[in-house]
Amino acid sequence: MIQEATIERVLERLESGTDDFNLEIQDFAETQPHLMAYLTNEDSDTLNEDERTLLLFGATVIYQSVLDERTIPGAISEEMIGQAEEENYALMPEKGAFRDRLTPFFEDSEEEELLAFAEDLIVAEADEDGITKEAREPMFIALKTVVDCLVL
């Protein structure tokens, strides 16, 4: 399991500006091109530009946290991404408060800290009017899919 301290350390590093965020994104894109394509898919009108940026930030924190503690497998395939995303959408209950609908993802998960980071990121931004209600679910599913693919 990725430790909370690792996630906090990565967050501090990325938010402090000591590392160039664009370089981190470039590294992510070069090592995981299919995941980056999945996250930046322009075909979807669900997310606005700010939400896409936040999604990339969250995915980069997850990627760097996993990289700090584990060896990440080679490039993740489109098939793996599609399967993980499909399984995640199947887990999401259709009704209820957003946070309550996330409960099934935490049950039997070995990566509770990464999921909690994704949840907190989305909820905090939604509370600040940075994320639309319609974007919360697809953003969480996308971040959960990144987690599933990177921590095989």
Tokens encoding 4 = 């909370």
Cα–chain center distance at 56:
8
- Compute the C-alpha angle 147/106/134, nearest 5°: 75
Given a cut of 70, the residues of the chain with pLDDT beneath it are: 18-19, 42-44
Say whether pTM exceeds 0.95. Answer: no
pLDDT for 41: 85
Round to whole Å and give the CA distance between 29 and 68.
Answer: 17
pLDDT for 43: 61
How many H-runs (helices) and E-runs (strands) does the chain carry? 9, 0
Round to whole Å and give the CA distance between 135 and 45.
Answer: 10
pLDDT for 44: 65
pLDDT for 46: 82
Round to whole Å and give the CA distance between 10 and 87.
Answer: 28
Round to whole Å and give the CA distance between 88 and 38.
Answer: 15
